[in-house]
Amino acid sequence: MLYREAGDFKTSYSADNQTFPIKFDRLGYYTALIIAFLVIPFIINDYWANAIFLPFLIYAIAALGLNILVGYCGQVSLGTGGFMAVGAYACYKLMTSMPEVNIFFHVIISGGITAAVCVVFGLPSLRIKGFYLAVATLAAQFFLVWLFNRVAWFYNYSASGQINAPERTVFGIEVTGPNTEAWATYLFCLVFLVASALIARNLTRGMAGRKWMAIRDMDIAAEIIGVNPLKAKISAFAVSGFFVGISGALFFSVYLGAVEVGEVFGINKSFLVLFMIIIGGLGSIFGSFAGAAFLVLLPVVLKVVGVDWLGWPTDIVAHLQLVIVGALIVLFLILEPHGLAQLWRVTKQKLRLWPFPH
């Protein structure tokens, strides 16, 4: 009843082209923004920030990035963990070598550096496709992790081989280091997420996005109608790398604070982000959010139910989590290859006709 386009008259071209054409969607979007910016910061505490909100925000950025590459441009990448590591280490080097610059810019520059690295590893995509490419991106994953492990310059010759985030402030409020407040880190990540989502959304519905989708659907046909595959694929790798790099930088500096590369940015991280976009929905901005939320919440819920309520040992719950995640992936691919986003789309379609479906 509420969810209708009827009565919502568009009088200008830009109004017709807006992201959320239906009033109810627009209201929902603004409400979500208001709650995220004006309500949650006042009620958030350390547990909620560290267990749910920070990982969700940061993974959502990574999922956005990977979704552009896999969901929109069709180039499967298993190197996300490695690229996140590039973002993290770039951020660390920048933070320690240029302490006078605001961390906000460090994070953005780390994104740029990751984009450059991502482009280098994306170059083979012009020759190889499908899972040949997927396996080739594994080269990035293993090589980058090895590089950050072995070359001491990257971790400033520290004895432990770890990198630790020094204390940095934005507007005089600490966002990294040990003495941060939950709301400050939350807001810092939220700003990046909202900006990333806006950029991603507008890129994907513009010319760049259409080129990516043309390449995804059939690259030879796309080439024939005048899409330059070199530019399209490389730009997808660059944009994807930018977002993934930002998420890696935030993951290290704001969320964890100290990182050992093999443990944090291993191959499992690549799979985790890939699972997020499969479950959330390939080729959908909303899907990146939904998938990230789902896979961040699932372990928390399982832990609360399994360990706290039923009193099972943690290792059994961890194994059970593997089983559930694996089964869910298969189930989603069978039942709904377009993920949670498609379920949401179907629901919206039903809502339009509700309560009189004929």
What one-letter code names the amino acid at 41? P
Q: How far is the CB of 155 from another protein (least distance, A)?
A: 13
Count CA atoms closer than 13 A to 229's CA, side-chain side.
21
Binding-site ranges for another protein (CB under 8 A): 74, 76, 124, 127-132, 134-136, 138-139, 142-143, 145-146, 149-151, 218, 220-221, 224, 267, 271, 274-275, 278, 310-313, 315-316, 319-330, 333-334, 337
Helix axes 182-204, 207-217, angle to 10 degrees: 70
Q: How far is the CB of 218 from another protein (least distance, A)?
A: 7
**For another protein, which is the closer residue by CB, 101 or 151?**
151
**For another protein, which is the closer residue by CB, 51 or 324?**
324
Q: How far is the CB of 40 from another protein (least distance, A)?
A: 32
**For another protein, which is the closer residue by CB, 33 or 128?**
128
Alpha carbon dihedral 113, 172, 44, 340, in 10-degree steps, equals -20
Q: How far is the CB of 304 from another protein (least distance, A)?
A: 16
Q: How far is the CB of 123 from another protein (least distance, A)?
A: 8
Number of H helices, E strands in the chain: 17, 4
Helix axes 285-303, 314-335, angle to 10 degrees: 150
**For another protein, which is the closer residue by CB, 111 or 287?**
287
**For another protein, which is the closer residue by CB, 49 or 274?**
274
**For another protein, which is the closer residue by CB, 7 or 311?**
311
Q: How far is the CB of 143 from another protein (least distance, A)?
A: 4
Which two tokens mark 44? 């958030």
Q: How far is the C-alpha of 27 from the C-alpha of 29, rounded, in Å?
A: 5
Count CA atoms closer than 13 A to 159's CA, side-chain side.
0
What one-letter code names the amino acid at 324? I
Q: How far is the CB of 51 from another protein (least distance, A)?
A: 22
- Kindly state the DSSP code that residue 171 receives in the 8-state scheme: T
Q: How far is the CB of 341 from another protein (least distance, A)?
A: 16
**For another protein, which is the closer residue by CB, 234 or 329?**
329
Pairing of strands 169-170, 173-174: antiparallel
Q: How far is the C-alpha of 263 from the C-alpha of 240, rounded, in Å?
A: 23
Helix axes 80-97, 267-280, angle to 10 degrees: 120
Q: How far is the C-alpha of 248 from the C-alpha of 236, rounded, in Å?
A: 18
At a CB cut-off of 8 Å and minimum separation 6, what does 200 contact? 64, 65, 67, 68, 239, 243, 285, 288
**For another protein, which is the closer residue by CB, 194 or 324?**
324
